[in-house]
Amino acid sequence: MTIPPAAAEVTTLGPTAHRPSKEQALTRTDKIIRFIEEQFLIEFGDEVTPQSDLFKDGIIDSFGYIRLMGYLEEEFSLKIKSEEFLLDVPSTLEQIDRFVADRQGGPACAG
């Protein structure tokens, strides 16, 4: 089965969400999810959603945010100026994915 390119970037999250194995190619969104889940010891699902504010919910603090930005720069070959991520802080998975997509010229996840 071939997945249309637009649908390949969309990740549906929930208790029964399909999570690609490490052997499968991960989408940009999947890579961001995996990093956040592994580094901050959470799991996206019912309680933590793509719309959850990761700062207000106590998942990420300022140090974690710097780690996240470093990961995004390295993983997606981005050059992020400090004023870019200090003025308009992306605080949800959707906003983080859009932040990367905007710099790559691609579509953001539908969440």
What gap in Å lies between CA 95 and CA 111, rounded to an integer? 10
Domain that holds residue 97: 26-104
Specify the pTM: 0.73
Asked if the model's pLDDT at residue 22 lies above 70, the reply is no
Q: Tens digit of pLDDT for each residue in 39-51? A: 999 999 999 999 9
87 inside domain: yes
Whole-angstrom distance, CA of residue 5 vs CA of residue 44: 23
Query: Residues 58-74: pLDDT tens digits?
Result: 999 999 999 999 999 99
Q: Rounded distance, CA 98 to CA 110, Å?
A: 10
Instruction: Name the average pLDDT for the chain.
Output: 82
Q: Which of 71, 42, 69 is nearest to 54 (CA)?
A: 42
| Domain-embedded: residue 18 | no
> For residue 20, is it within any domain?
no
The total number of structural domains in the chain stands at 1
Among residues of the chain, what percentage have pLDDT more than 70? 74
Instruction: State the pLDDT confidence band at 24, using cuts at 50, 70 and 90.
Output: confident
